[in-house]
Amino acid sequence: MIRKAHGFTIVELVTTIVISGIMLSIFYTAIFSTFKDSAIANKEIRATTDIKRAFSVLSEDTVLTSQFRISVPAAYQDVYGPHRLGVSGAQAWSYVGDSANSRVLILENYSTTQNSGGSNRRPVYINSSSFNCTTTITRQPKLTYIAIYFVYQQKLYKRTLIDQSQTLCPGLAQYQLRTCPPDLYGSWNAICQARDEILATNVSKFQVAYYQSGSVLGGTLTAGQYTSSNPNVLQSANIIEVTIEENFAGLEAPINIKQNFTRIN
């Protein structure tokens, strides 16, 4: 006897389609969640790496800093200033910056003939009439430069200013170069030899607190705190506490890292 083949009923087809839809929905949700978690993790890694790279540069500068400054001395005049407006709109530098989350770190460092990894690295001495560049060169005054860390449009920059008015002892060319804003780099700013260095992006916070031998010199900074009664208080500080925060779209919370740096000079 021949049996008749039976197909799926409408109920069975609908049930199969519904179950398949549910399974596909679960599958795609899991895949989307995995990709989302991976994207967030990559952004967290990127932000952390960014901040640590900035700290590495800052640490190298801070350890040899001769002093922390509240402003830039006249000898290192910067025609662009923190707002990068050029000659007609130059702004004065101040360590307090624009806000509590956008401080400016101003370091005065000794100039050298090579970078920190140079085997023949030497200080650069000024050729003054007080001593001789040949027999008593180490008694000559040392040339310094200014390193400025600041935030502009959510990017952390490092600008270098040098004193170009000094006559140096022969054979001691300064390694450090004067820098300018990258978006204004053109033919009319010939005083600069390089562009400002970008250390971190998507920066939502750059804070600096100053300490001396572990004792806080005022805690969280407020505008004008050190500029009236004791303008030289930053010069006695030997430790800074720097906080950098990066905030990428998609992160549940900004990546915030704090680190202390000690100067030895």
Summarised one tens digit per residue, pLDDT across range 192-220 is: 888 899 999 999 999 988 877 666 565 54
Given CA atoms 160, 163, 164, 166 in this order, what sign does their dihedral have?
negative
SS (H, E, C) 107-139: EEEECECCCCCCCCCCECEECCCCCCCCCCHHH
* 57-70 pLDDT, tens digit each: 999 999 889 989 98
Predicted local confidence at residue 146, as pLDDT:
96
H/E element, 199: strand 197-200
**Greater confidence, 203 or 1?**
203
Question: Quick check: 2 pLDDT over 60?
Answer: no
Q: For residue 26, give the amino acid letter.
A: I
Looking at residue 159, its pLDDT comes to 95
Range 133-169 burial, b when 16+ CB lie within 10 A, else e = beeebeebeebbbbbbbbbbeeebbbbbbbbeebebb
CB 54 within 8 A of CB 261: no
Q: What is the CA radius of gyration of the chain?
A: 28
pLDDT reported for residue 223: 40
